[in-house]
Amino acid sequence: MSTTPEADARDLFARLTGAEPEGVWSSPGRANLIGEHTDYNDGFVLPFAIEHRTHAALGLRGDGRIRVASTFDDAVAEVALADLDRLFPDRRGDVPEWATYPLGVAWALLRTTGLAPAAVTGVDLAIASDVPVGAGLSSSAAIEGAVASALNETWDLGLDRVELAQAGRRAENEAVGAPTGIMDQMASMLGQPDAAIFLDCRTLDANVVDLGFARAGLELVVIDTRVKHSHATGGYGERRAACELGARTLGVPALRDLSLDDLPRAEQLLDETTFRRVRHVVTENQRVLDTVRTLREDGPRAIGELLVASHASMRDDFEISVPELDTAVEAALAAGAIGARMTGGGFGGAAIALVARADVARVTDAAAAAFQAAGFRTPHVFTVTPSAGARRDG
Ligand code: GLA
């Protein structure tokens, strides 16, 4: 029997509480078309929401506590709202890791609004998702968006979508402890069908950019390498620190403030590795701007080279690719993809390929064959459709 994440969230809620939820809210995962590791450098990104969503069914409780359960982890977590401040950030290990996302959102919303825990009602939340976890498609932002939307309405906070995205990022940075930027939360909150969100991560100005994939007969293929990554540890934070060092050394508030013309000076002042990190961010920002212009002027079939150049920059300058991602990109291009690149934070996760509808099967088979030949696990290959952002479903 096939079920939907909304039905799964309702079922789980019924099993948890024996009652019907007050409402169900959902928010999508995202794929990033281009603009990687530019968000925390105050730069530009061009992500889109995908049709895979996380649903949160919410019910009220009279005892000032918050309980969270999910279909992707058996561990249920429950805590008094008044104790969230004791939990985050120092005692986050007291709850299961997955629960730090929804509980972190509740904490961030209370912090952001300055409301006392006693001023809001306790809640039960049952969460179900079909966003692949660890695939670089932002299952975390999908949880944050669904829970933030549910609590915003239930607690009558009156926050707008950008403020909810900011609360989600705060949860991720401070409660979960992953030093990520704002791209994923903004994409999940603001997504639109067949469009990407062109976001200036300094001003948070967001413009909807028509992608026109459907009209052009194109599909966006995701090749999930099944190499799991985590941004709370390791490489992500190191890259971020290198970018901050680069900006400090060059005397700018953020790498966003550099252009291609600044690169010769950067090369003189920075050590070789830091220079390559900086060069990735500066050239990637330019590629986002070029992609937006190309989409508007020439349509989606013309952006292939920009996607390929982005991947090369992440592989060679930013060094966040892995052999599985490189193999996915090469196999897709060899099988006729218009463009391909890894998407998301890197060190695993997924690649995306822009492919003519007639070539999808060929690209899918080519990726599987290349992985088998290299001795990698079989990749998950599927198409995604640019879709709507967070909403109330029932
Ligand atoms: C992760 C982070 C985002 C962004 C990307 C890289 O998805 O959550 O904020 O930094 O990596 O572009």
Q: What is the pLDDT of residues 326-379, one digit of tens each?
A: 999 999 999 999 999 999 999 999 999 999 999 999 999 999 999 999 999 999
Ligand 1, atom 9, residue with closest C-alpha: 181
Per cent of the chain over pLDDT 90 is: 96
CATH number of the domain at 276, please.
3.30.70.890
At 19, is the pLDDT very low, low, confident or very high (cuts 50, 70, 90)? very high
At 135, is the pLDDT very low, low, confident or very high (cuts 50, 70, 90)? confident
CA dihedral 373, 376, 381, 384 (to 10 degrees): -130
Ligand 1 centroid – CA 344 distance (Å):
6
**Whether residues 167 and 255 fall in one domain:** no
CA dihedral 3, 384, 320, 363 (to 10 degrees): 110
At 2, is the pLDDT very low, low, confident or very high (cuts 50, 70, 90)? low
Q: Give which of 235, 244, 241 is closest to 321, Cα–Cα.
A: 235
Report pTM.
0.97
Q: Give the pair of three-digit tokens for residue 166.
A: 């900011």
Provide CB contacts within 8 A for 388, sequence distance 6+: 28, 49, 191, 192, 193
The whole-number average pLDDT for the span 245-266 is: 98
Residues with catalytic roles: 184
**Whether residues 215 and 356 fall in one domain:** yes
The confidence score (pLDDT) of residue 142 equals: 98
CATH number of the domain at 64, please.
3.30.230.10
> Does residue 354 sit within a domain?
yes
Is the distance from the beta carbon of residue 345 to the nearest atom of ligand 1 less than 6 Å?
yes
Ligand 1 centroid – CA 243 distance (Å):
14
Rounded CA separation 174/185 (Å): 15
> Does residue 391 sit within a domain?
no
- Give the residue numbers spanning the domain of 261: 210-384
| Residues 36, 314 contacting (CB under 8 angstroms) | yes
Write the CA distances from 87 to 84, 99, 112, 175, 372, integer angstroms: 5, 12, 16, 8, 45
The confidence score (pLDDT) of residue 387 equals: 97
The whole-number average pLDDT for the span 143-158 is: 98
Pocket test for ligand 1, best of 183, 186, 320 (most atoms within 8 A of CB): 183
**Whether residues 153 and 269 fall in one domain:** no
Cis before 89 (ω within 30): yes
**How does 12-47 read in b/e, with b if 16+ C-beta sit within 10 Å?**
bbeebbeeebbbbbbbbbbbbbbbbbbbbbbbbbbb
Is the distance from the beta carbon of residue 183 to the nearest atom of ligand 1 less than 6 Å?
yes
Is the distance from the beta carbon of residue 180 to the nearest atom of ligand 1 less than 6 Å?
yes
Ligand 1, atom 8, residue with closest C-alpha: 180
**Whether residues 185 and 223 fall in one domain:** no
At 233, is the pLDDT very low, low, confident or very high (cuts 50, 70, 90)? low
Is the distance from the beta carbon of residue 181 to the nearest atom of ligand 1 less than 6 Å?
yes
Is the distance from the beta carbon of residue 246 to the nearest atom of ligand 1 less than 6 Å?
no
Average pLDDT, the chain: 97
Is the distance from the beta carbon of residue 344 to the nearest atom of ligand 1 less than 6 Å?
yes
> Does residue 151 sit within a domain?
yes
pLDDT of 230 higher than 90: no
pLDDT of 287 higher than 50: yes
pLDDT of 234 higher than 90: no
pLDDT of 134 higher than 50: yes
The confidence score (pLDDT) of residue 136 equals: 87
At 1, is the pLDDT very low, low, confident or very high (cuts 50, 70, 90)? very low
Last residue of a domain, one of 208, 243, 270: 208
The 10s digit of each residue's pLDDT in 29-45 is 999 999 999 999 999 99
Rounded CA separation 358/221 (Å): 12
Last residue of a domain, one of 179, 208, 237: 208
Pocket test for ligand 1, best of 30, 38, 39 (most atoms within 8 A of CB): 39
Count of domains forming the chain: 2
**Whether residues 168 and 248 fall in one domain:** no
**Whether residues 112 and 232 fall in one domain:** no
At 133, is the pLDDT very low, low, confident or very high (cuts 50, 70, 90)? confident
Ligand 1 centroid – CA 180 distance (Å):
6
